Structure 1
Amino acid sequence: MNTLKITLISLFTGPAMLFAQTGFQINGTTPASKEGCVVYLDYTSNGESISDSTIVTNGTFQFRGAVSEPSYSRMIFDHQGQGKYMIQNIGDRLYFYVGNENYHIAITDSLHNAAITGSPMHAEYTAFLNEVGGCFIAIMDEAGKTAASIPQSDPQYNEKMTALRNKYDKILADRRLKELEFAKNNPNSIFSAEALRDVANGHPLSEIEPVLASLSEEVRNLSTAKQLAARIQAEKTIQIGNIAPDFTQPDINGQPVSLSDYRGRYVLVDFWASWCAPCRAENPNLVKAYEAYKDKGLEVLGVSLDSKSGRDAWLKAIEKDGLPWVHVSDLKGWSNAVAVLYGVRGVPQNYLIDPEGRIVASNLRDERLHTVLAEILGN
């Protein structure tokens, strides 16, 4: 047994330990010069995205809350009063896991360099990152800064950008190999599930499936592991020619709607969200196709990946974009049960299902949507 594995086992005894208390508390300290600065915290619980904020007072700040399971979270420190929107992707940020534990964050110069103590899970997370080659987002930030430093006027701009992409592709590929090895060696760590989710972006799912199956039952019951298992299953079942899995979700009035209700008709199951700019941009094209083929047997069933907090935005988007078909959602965001069932990893995405319930086409957008509908339903 290697040294790291011994360390991790001593730090981590399973997900149950993270719920010995009913919630989390984060206490932060800052230099006096940061008085009045705003601190933001984003995390998820029960599939719902939660955003919180507080103000530095007398050199301290605090967050309280609770999570249903360990949540990958983002804290943002607004040093200059720019507002969250302006700095959430480029400002002083800290990415870490929040469990129902107590945390102390000591800021000296920046949140990014702050020391976090008091949390056994954070100690394990730090060990995990050291083992696999660092934080993914930190690697991407570094790549972005390097890319931004290359002026477009540079005669070798294209060559340098290609070399940069190759460099970071290799860094990420090497990191995924380490993550795969970590998951094999640490079946009781929640970070094994997180590691496999990233590995799945560069390795065949058939290679990941046996490793996922070897994880402890508690880890496999975490939402990350469940979603990965569903994605593996979806790769096998969500195929052209296969029967589309049935599902039931509430419509905008809370009434249950099932895919099987559409048997005997062609139905385009459209995955989208009010916050998805490409989805909103595609909606006029989808409306045009619906109007052209609805009298020839086409139905559309919209499945939204909005969350509970985005319900109003979802309803407003339906009205503003003039989407006359039935819309359903469980309002669990990316954890939407239908999206998980179908292995949806990006929106917009859709599947055309024939009257017998078989998937006959997928990812229909732009002119291809009209071309395929014309072939199937006639001009």
Structure 2
Amino acid sequence: MKRLLLALLGLPALALAQNPTPAYFVLRGTLPAVQSPAKVYLIRETAQGNYLADSVAVKNGAFVLRGSVATPEKARLAQVRRGQQGRLYNGLADNAVFYLEKGTTVFTSPDSLAHAQPTGSPLSLDYRELNTRLGPVQLQQAALDAQYRAASPETRASVAFRQRYTPRYYELQAQSTSILTDFIKAHPGSLLSLASIQELVGLIPTYASAAPLFALLSPEVQHSPDGQRFAQRLQQLQRVAVGAPAPDFELPTPDGQRVTLASFRGKYVLLDFWASWCGPCRRESPEVVQLYQQFKNRNFEILGVSIDVASARSQWLKAIADDHLTWTQTSDLRPDNVAATRYSVAAVPQNFLIDPTGKIVATNLHGDELKATLTRLLP
């Protein structure tokens, strides 16, 4: 199951863009209860990863940090005393999450950064508002996850457990989706709304799910560096949306034979992207094998495309054998897999159902949904 809930301390970081005119920021803090020797560290969270960007000593309960940022990005201020720098990495540091942007952001609290409410940063205010609404849902999701982890495999597989867990899971997921959607509608001019869309559509977005949300954003956000990148992503997704002609490609099988998608024209084809290291892919293999046996003589085929790389060739072949994947398997074993590139595949498992005319008729079908769709379409 796919989680849409946000971590209580953060949405996805807005991607770092190159900007010839950097925006300068000032971070001022007043923390009367924090005395020397203590330091405040600025941790910047970019698309390339998190890193310690700067630090300053707390003097007389106050600190000031200055710098520049190319485009707004999520960041964190963490305060630790001398000799306790390890808390920066184990999550125990006193910290405040905010958005780093042009201007002066002020942190004021009688005791700690954790209790400080940043002022002067519009994005940080938006972030606070959104997390205030999402926080209770997130806490309930964490409790539900804890119940799932604590249950034995036998308990998880039981009908009684699934009847308790599954409806509650989807209920919380729906609450999170509603909160994010309402926020986007209420804040079309906030870059945080763009980050909310990215959270909503997840790692495997579709044009149908993402485009209407993106259309809600203001022209300023759509034309921002991050908005332009997302728009380009939408264009890529539109080329492989339901109703579009399936892009052709040619890839080798394990024994070196060249196979094209077009060679399957005249049949329904499940184009299945997977990898030997992908746990969810491997866990659903037995079910796909069963469906293949049921439908393979009804004008249906599966074309597997692995996104493994050359160093994992042996693992790829072993996975094919271990999972009894008897349909055609292909891969160029390259990081820039030609088929994955043409289909904008950024995560697996992912699949596309293609009809006999070569048109995409469905995407990302799994389990009962896949079976029901094949039953409906195949004579």
Q: TM-score, normalised by structure 2?
A: 0.51
Identity across the alignment (%):
21
* Aligned AA (1:81): Q
Question: 1:290-305 maps to which residues of 2 (within 5 A)?
Answer: 299-303=332-336
Distance 1:207-1:161 versus aligned 2 partners, 3 A rule: closer
CA distance, structure 2, for counterparts of residue 348 and residue 38 of structure 1? 42
CA shift at 1:70, angstroms?
1.7
1:246-325 aligned at under 5 Å gives the runs 286-288=312-314, 299-303=332-336
Gaps (5+ residues) in structure 2? 1-19, 250-256, 261-272, 281-307, 319-329, 353-363, 365-379
Equivalent residue number for residue 307 of structure 1: none
Aligned pair 1:199/2:203, yes or no? no
Question: C-alpha root-mean-square deviation of aligned residues, in Å?
Answer: 5.4
Matches within 5 A, 1:76-91: 76-78=78-80, 80-87=84-91
The structure-2 alpha-carbon separation of the partners of 1:170 and 1:186, relative to structure 1 and needing over 3 Å to count, comes to: same
Superposition deviation, residue 290 in structure 1: 9.2
User: Which structure features the higher share of helix residues?
Assistant: 1
Residue of structure 1 equivalent to 2:189 = 188
The answer for the alignment partner of 2:103 in structure 1 is 101
SS of 2:180 mapped into structure 1: helix
Equivalent position to 1:117, from 116, 119, 140: 119
Going from structure 1 to structure 2, the CA distance change for 1:284 and 1:116 (only over 3 Å counts) comes to same
Q: How big is the shift at 1:213?
A: 2.4
Structure 1 letter corresponding to 2:37: E
Unaligned runs of 5+ in 1: 1-18, 246-263, 304-326, 328-337, 352-362, 364-379
Over 3 Å counting, the alpha-carbon distance change for 1:345 and 1:56 in structure 2 is: farther
Matches of 1:78 and 1:161, distance apart in 2: 44
Hey, what's the Cα distance between the residues in 2 that align with 1:153 and 1:271? Answer: 29
Tell me the amino acid that sits aligned with residue 211 of structure 2. Answer: E
Query: Which residue does the alignment assign to 1:13?
Result: none
Cα–Cα, structure 1 residues 72 and 210, in superposed 2: closer, same or farther, change >3 Å?
A: same
CA 1:65–1:49 in structure 2 vs 1: closer, same or farther (change >3 Å)?
A: farther
**Per-residue deviation, 1:223:** 4.6
Relative to 1, partners in 2 of residues 1:193 and 1:35: Cα closer, same or farther, differing over 3 Å? Answer: same
Indicate conservation of the 8 Å contact 1:290/1:300, yes or no: no
Aligned equivalents of 1:302 and 1:203: distance in 2? Answer: 20
**Inter-partner Cα distance in structure 2 for 1:266 and 1:108:** 67
Kindly report which structure 2 residues correspond to 1:291-370, keeping only aligned pairs within 5 A, or say none.
299-303=332-336, 343-346=344-347
The secondary structure found in structure 2 opposite 1:117 is coil
Say whether the 8 Å CA contact 1:26–1:103 is kept in structure 2: yes
Matches within 5 A, 1:54-65: 54-58=55-59, 59-65=61-67
Q: 1:137-188 CA distances to partner (integer Å, 9 max, x unpaired)?
A: x85466446755999499x986789857754643342232232233334432
1:74 and 2:107 aligned:
no
User: Cα–Cα, structure 1 residues 283 and 217, in superposed 2: closer, same or farther, change >3 Å?
Assistant: same
With the length of structure 1 as denominator, give the TM-score of the two structures.
0.51
- What is the CA-CA distance between 1:26 and the residue it aligns to? 1.3
Contact 1:231 1:341 in 2 (8 A): no
SS of alignment partner, residue 85 of structure 2: coil
Cα pair distance change 1:139/1:72, threshold 3 Å: farther
Larger Rg computed on CA atoms: 2
Helix, strand or coil for the counterpart of 2:196?
A: helix
SS of 1:41's partner is strand
Aligned counterparts of 1:342 and 1:67: Cα–Cα separation in 2: 33
Correspondence for 2:128: 126
* Aligned twin of 2:30: 29
- For 1:86, the aligned partner's letter is N
SS in structure 1 at match of 2:114: coil
Q: What is the deviation of 1:271?
A: 12
Q: Does 1:51 align with 2:51?
A: yes
The separation in 2 between residues aligned to 1:40 and 1:121, in whole angstroms, is 17
Tell me what 2:246 maps to: 242
Per-residue CA deviations over 1:2-58 (Å, capped at 9, x if unaligned) read xxxxxxxxxxxxxxxxx99831121223323463245341233xx554622414331
Shift of 1:203: 8.9
3-state SS of the aligned residue for 2:335?
Answer: strand
- CA distance change for structure 1 residues 224 and 169 in 2, over 3 Å: closer, same or farther? farther
Tell me which residue corresponds to 1:248: none
The Cα shift of 1:69 comes to 2.0
Superposed displacement of residue 103, structure 1: 0.9
Aligned partners of 1:74 and 1:93 also within 8 Å: yes
Cα distance change, pair 54–175 in 1 and its aligned pair in 2 (3 A) = same
How far apart, CA to CA, are the structure 1 residues paired with 2:230 and 2:186? Answer: 19
User: CA separation in 2, counterparts of 1:150 and 1:349?
Assistant: 25
- 1:119: how far off? 2.2
CA shift for structure 1 position 191: 2.8
Deviation at 1:220, TM superposition (A): 0.8
Shift, 1:105, TM fit: 1.4
Contact 2:42 2:55 in 1 (8 A): yes
Distance in 2 (alpha carbons) for counterparts of 1:340 and 1:22: 34
